[in-house]
Structure 1
């Protein structure tokens, strides 16, 4: 995130690495199905950060899955069992990667309404091809309104300071801005702070982070502040009303963006719950070379609350069946124009 956050996380990571290196190494386990199963179970047992919050009995998981491991099983069969075991964590930041597959947990969005239709957005709001593009953001002033609209598909798509200056200069006379991050599954946390810094005028604490200090499931450090600096005075700021549009596919860095924006007095979150994903992930390796990524450090909102399972909108809206309208955008327009929720 901000440089201070990077420093804090680096300090946290150093502490974590000293703990990790003293607990588990590839040489502790044989490179066979049983050894790889035990290595994965042990890595998660000592390093995963949400066992207590999610009320997961990891010992019971071992009891249920260990009988499925046999020494003569194929790599594909082993991979399937390990993937099923990791799915017990219900975490989209948990992946097992081999040369032939990547295990993933996507139920955080698969079992929920989509609440987004890119074709409708492109045709009726961005009015393709008339919109402009700056960095990873598509933007325009919505037709027949004085409202700026931004669609941002991924926090992995770079948005520089000059891009933000250009967009906000275009919207400087607008009565409000819609920032649509639906279907944005995350990316780079520093980009979150770069964007949010344009909507504040004073430095602030925007959340907290903790890190594991030992193998026990409840062994965590104290809370470290995640500090956010306002953009320099020579950059363009926007302090009029802002609507942030969300759905269940808002995940990871996008979840963090929503968490921070939700605390600003001029902002309303409109749409559906976000998908969550508040654990900062790291990676480790099994004896056979497969890589496992997992949530190692929980990030909290300003109230020191978990957002791992998602963030509620201020104004809940489900997409309607109207073929040429987006109910969530229309609700945002109404709020920005009239102030009525």
Structure 2
């Protein structure tokens, strides 16, 4: 599907690997590590201007907090807080004892997911498992597939078995709520089962220089149809704020297919392809380096809106009902 595109992108990113901060660029002191991290983000993070972040002001805010004799834990906390200003779930700082992370991109929103209800009242005890997917046929002849983690592999053989088994159904629900991402190959492989033609789904760029707006021209991304079993009936894709990274990419691809309706909450975003570097003291830092745009060349970093906005009802949850699944079933019955 996108092997050639990703390969070309990785070739384009090679200059970034050679521009990593070296130990002799900054001394291994609290101040040196602070300046090294600030410079990495300043030169290589891809959303500073898009998010309207004044990175110089962030430097002036946190630099006075750095003292020569501060502990590693103290330094780690300050650097982690500085990175949190980016509001990006793809940005992490790693030491041997901790990982700084920003999770408010989903914690500040309704959960819109109850795994216990799904296991008990929808999947039941006899659901099937193929690769990373769980699937069953609901009592109204709607197929239901839960794919909670794109780090869990799924092969073409798995997808053939799933779609063959569900072929008797009138419609299909694909639940990627709480799927925080993983391997883009699995996301593309799954999406390729729902189109009969090559479809433009977006563009990708990469940094070409140290300036905040130094990017390559957008390179088109296409979803190509699988050469095996493809689904031809209506599909509802269920999303919540924890649908992130590779899942955001999957939802974006599915949004351009004619028989697909997105149901639930806005996705969490995370459209930047992550890249890693290292500080003088050996701490690792991961950050978004290459922005992914949709087919209209608009950023999807902040998430993708559903076609049908639905939140979980507390009353439904108390009664063991998943509001979002039920809304999807209604939509699929109206449009068989």
Coarse TM-score class (shorter-chain normalised): over 0.9
Structure 2: runs of 5 or more not aligned: none
Which residue does 2:136 correspond to in 1?
140
- 1:80-95 alignment runs, 5 A limit: 80-95=77-92
- Please say if 1:330 is aligned against 2:326: yes
3-state SS in 2 of match to 1:52: coil
Which residue does 2:27 correspond to in 1?
30
**Deviation string for 1:45-103 (max 9, x for gaps)?**
00000001000000000011000000000000000100010000000000000011100
Pairwise CA RMSD of aligned residues?
A: 1.2
Which residue does 2:3 correspond to in 1?
3
Alignment partners' CA distance in 1, 2:182 and 2:241? 16
Which residue does 2:189 correspond to in 1?
194
Q: Give the drift of 1:205.
A: 2.3
Alignment partners' CA distance in 2, 1:252 and 1:155? 10
Contact persistence 1:271–1:315 (CA under 8 A)? yes
Q: Give the drift of 1:203.
A: 1.8
The alignment's TM-score, normalised by the length of structure 2, stands at 0.97
3-state SS in 1 of match to 2:188: helix
Structure 1: runs of 5 or more not aligned: none
Which residue, out of 272, 276, 295, partners 2:265?
A: 272
Q: Give the drift of 1:42.
A: 0.4
- Please say if 1:226 is aligned against 2:253: no
Number of corresponding residues? 333
Which residue does 2:158 correspond to in 1?
163
Alignment partners' CA distance in 1, 2:23 and 2:195? 47
Which residue does 2:249 correspond to in 1?
256
Alignment partners' CA distance in 1, 2:108 and 2:48? 22
3-state SS in 1 of match to 2:269: coil
Q: Give the drift of 1:149.
A: 0.2
The ranges of structure 1 where at least 4 consecutive aligned residues each deviate by more than 3 angstroms after the TM superposition are 15-18
Alignment partners' CA distance in 2, 1:124 and 1:286? 49
Which residue does 2:279 correspond to in 1?
286
Which residue does 1:110 correspond to in 2?
107
Q: Give the drift of 1:15.
A: 4.4
Contact persistence 1:142–1:148 (CA under 8 A)? yes
The alignment's TM-score, normalised by the length of structure 1, stands at 0.95
Which residue does 2:93 correspond to in 1?
96
